[in-house]
């Protein structure tokens, strides 16, 4: 049974963050997907959807700028590690920063929002289904915005299976209703799907697990 995996990168990351699973951030996404498969399933490709964190902007406080730059560098190392994995393709959306104001106290702070992931996932899932590239779509997310996409897939391709894996600390009752099967990614799967602490690329460059992720 042919499987294509679609991974919502930010939804997975914030699930790990909210679960205090920082030690699992150095996650080999392809290894995780393979550890989720059943023995009769064959992985065609893993599609990972994310957005690159933007750097500091003029007017940022020094502490905010330092923290943001550190996050950007950790993400860059992680994405570079993913690029060494065969059978995995990365799709990029946009990472936007906007000012948010509290309606009660009036305090203003910077917030970030990732854009286009749900649209990119929906586009890829529907395209792959129309081109008959999978029998089962394995979707890693708890974003209910993808419910209409799953409904359309089930209506147009009733023999294709949609299996949803919720990230740790994430759940969607709406996704549970429309999916053929749903499970939660467990700690054990995350633990055995980690990259080695040091990855040596083909050109000899060494990538190391960020210290804060140990």
Helices assigned H by DSSP within the chain? 9-18, 29-36, 62-82, 117-130, 147-156, 173-178, 187-191
Which pLDDT belongs to residue 55?
A: 75
Instruction: State CA 99 to chain mean position distance.
Output: 25
**Those residues with Cβ within 8 angstroms of residue 183's Cβ, 6 or more apart along the chain or in another chain:** 36, 163, 164, 165, 166
CATH for 80? 3.40.50.1010
Mode of pairing for the β-strands spanning 108-115 and 94-101: antiparallel
For 133-186, the pLDDT digits (tens) are 999 999 999 999 999 999 999 999 999 999 999 999 999 999 999 999 999 999
In total, how many domains does the chain have?
A: 1
Which pLDDT belongs to residue 112?
A: 58
Burial label for 63, CB within 10 Å (0-12, 13-18, 19+), is exposed
Residue 176 sits at the vertex; the CA angle it makes with 181 and 88, to the nearest 5 degrees, is 60
Which pLDDT belongs to residue 100?
A: 60
**pTM score:** 0.92
- Residues of the chain short of pLDDT 50, as ranges, are none
Which pLDDT belongs to residue 99?
A: 62
Among 178, 86, 180, 184, CA closest to 135: 180
Which pLDDT belongs to residue 167?
A: 98
Query: What does the alpha-carbon distance between residue 214 and residue 210 come to, in Å, rounded to a whole number?
Result: 7
Domain of 80?
2-213
């Amino acid at each position: 049974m042919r499987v294509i995996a679609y991974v919502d990168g930010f939804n997975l990351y914030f699930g790990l963050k909210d679960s205090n699973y920082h030690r699992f951030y150095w996650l080999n996404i392809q290894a995780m997907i393979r550890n989720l498969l059943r023995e009769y399933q064959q992985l065609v490709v893993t599609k990972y959807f994310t957005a690159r964190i933007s750097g500091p902007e003029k007017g940022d406080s020094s502490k905010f700028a330092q923290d943001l730059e550190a996050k950007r560098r950790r993400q860059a190392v992680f994405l570079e590690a993913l690029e060494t994995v065969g059978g995995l393709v990365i799709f990029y959306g946009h990472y936007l920063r906007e000012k948010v104001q509290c309606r009660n106290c009036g305090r203003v702070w910077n917030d970030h929002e990732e854009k286009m992931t749900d649209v990119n996932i929906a586009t890829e899932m529907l395209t792959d289904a129309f081109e008959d590239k999978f029998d089962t779509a394995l979707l890693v997310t708890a974003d209910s915005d993808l419910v209409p996409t799953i409904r359309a897939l089930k209506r147009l391709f009733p023999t294709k299976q949609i299996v949803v894996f919720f990230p740790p600390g994430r759940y969607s009752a709406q996704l549970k209703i429309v999916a053929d099967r749903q499970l939660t990614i467990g700690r054990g799967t995350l633990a055995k799907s980690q990259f080695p602490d040091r990855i040596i690329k083909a050109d000899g460059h060494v990538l190391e697990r960020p210290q804060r992720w140990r």
